[in-house]
Amino acid sequence: MALVTASGAAVVAVGGAAAADPLPAAEGAIRFATFNAALTEDRPGGLLERLSGGGDAAARDVAEVIQRVRPDILVLQELDRDAAGRSLALFRDEYLARPQGGAAPIAYPHALFPESNTGEPSGVDLDGDGVAGGPSDAKGFGRHPGQYAFAVLSRLPLGGAATFRNLLWRDVPDGLMPLSHYSEAAQAVLPLSSKTHLAVTVETARGPILLLAAHPTPPVFDDPDIDWNGRRNADEIRLLVDLLPGELPAYVVPDEGALGARPAHAVVLGDLNADPTRGDARPGAIARLIDDPRIQDVVPTSANGDITADFNGGMRVDYVLPTAGLEVTGSGVFWPATGDPLARLNATSDHHLVFVDVRLP
């Protein structure tokens, strides 16, 4: 895991507000957001080539959405990660730092771009095809290491951070891993997290807030002989629950060192690939999180209701969930209505940016 810190450039207002632009956060409130931007390529280095020079149309649209919503802390998902983290640097410097579509540039001087299990070879035949190689034999599905990774961008300082990329699925007590399907060799290398789970402290003027981020695997598998039904997805969501403020279960061990003291207040963010009532998620998987008494299920909406993604007839899979002690002052899904000039941004990704504004008591 690498923490990237850089001095931010001054932000100069460009153009006027558009009809779909969210109102600024209330005084003293912090805007947390998550956005699956779909900035990914199947070929290693493909995204770097696209981003270089600042001319990629899709990346410019992603940057414009961010510039219009102006989150203070953003979990940006599906951003391919190269070993040096250049893709994030390119996106910040050549897209976010430049005006897009009449929106003002935005600077994020603090960032995290943790390593991802996606595309990372396991060395074991996980999918049972007799060959130990390929996307389905990676620790998390991906055609090259770092595909579908995620980053955290922050206008506020970031404190201590921990990842849980190496936590083995088999070590989850009463977990849903189908042990009869996986060999001992597979059980010894397959992690719970398909990308990674991240816990990092956001330092605010009123005190620290714990940010918990993840991108669990979609709850769909191709093997009809096993009742998969979102087993890994459900256990990945369970880890987020177990990372909430309170007593930490013994199995929750970070990749490096000890987790240490955690703030009393937290926000969970990410494309969790689970809808409460629709789709293929395991029954109760997301309810375990959103119904936890420590969580406020704010349910941000747009003109299209509570859905946050376009596929399967519309799904709620992207979440920003503050803990109960935080005051919620605003929320929304950036999904301009048909006829709004900014509706041109709706095709940027099959997900839409979700935000919640919170204020420490």
Which range in 6-10, 212-216, 227-231, 253-257 is most confidently predicted, on average pLDDT? 212-216
Going by C-alpha positions, the residue among 91, 138, 96 that lies closest to residue 118 is 138
Note whether residue 182 is domain-resident: yes
Give me the chain's average pLDDT, please. Answer: 92
Residue corresponding to tokens 């290491």? 145
Note whether residue 288 is domain-resident: yes
Note whether residue 151 is domain-resident: yes
Q: Are 180 and 186 in contact (CB under 8 A)?
A: no
C-alpha dihedral, 81 to 85 to 87 to 92, nearest 10°: 130
When pLDDT is cut at 50, 70 and 90, the band that residue 297 belongs to is very high
DSSP labels, 126-174: -SSSS-S-SGGGBSBS-SSTTTT-EEEEESS-EEEEEE-TT-BGGGSTT
Q: Are 21 and 70 in contact (CB under 8 A)?
A: no
Note whether residue 18 is domain-resident: no
Note whether residue 19 is domain-resident: no
**pTM metric for this prediction:** 0.93
When pLDDT is cut at 50, 70 and 90, the band that residue 226 belongs to is low
Q: What is the residue range of 122's domain? A: 3-7+27-359
Residue corresponding to tokens 């430049």? 98
> What's the confidence (pLDDT) of residue 23?
87
Q: Is the pLDDT of residue 8 over 90?
A: no
Q: What is the mean pLDDT of residues 172-189?
A: 95
Note whether residue 258 is domain-resident: yes
Going by C-alpha positions, the residue among 144, 160, 146 that lies closest to residue 113 is 146
Count Cβ neighbours within 10 Å for each residue of 212-248 and write b for 16 or more, e otherwise: bbbbbbbbebeeeeeebbbbbbbbbbbbbbbbbbeee
Encode pLDDT of 134-165 as tens digits. Answer: 999 999 999 999 999 999 999 999 998 999 99
> What's the confidence (pLDDT) of residue 318?
98
Cα 60 vs. chain centroid, distance in angstroms?
A: 19
**Total domains, the chain:** 1
Note whether residue 12 is domain-resident: no
When pLDDT is cut at 50, 70 and 90, the band that residue 6 belongs to is very low
DSSP labels, 291-312: TSTTB------BTTBT--B-GG
Q: Is the pLDDT of residue 1 over 50?
A: no
In sequence order, what are the residues at sequence separation of 6 or more whose Cβ sits closer than 8 angstroms to the Cβ of residue 145?
44, 83, 116, 118, 119, 120, 121
Going by C-alpha positions, the residue among 356, 238, 219 that lies closest to residue 297 is 356
Q: CB atoms < 10 A from the CB of 324, how many?
A: 11
In terms of Cβ atoms closer than 10 Å to its own Cβ (0-12, 13-18, 19+), residue 361 is: exposed
Note whether residue 32 is domain-resident: yes
Q: What is the CATH number of the domain that holds 162?
A: 3.60.10.10
At 268, list the tokens: 């969970």
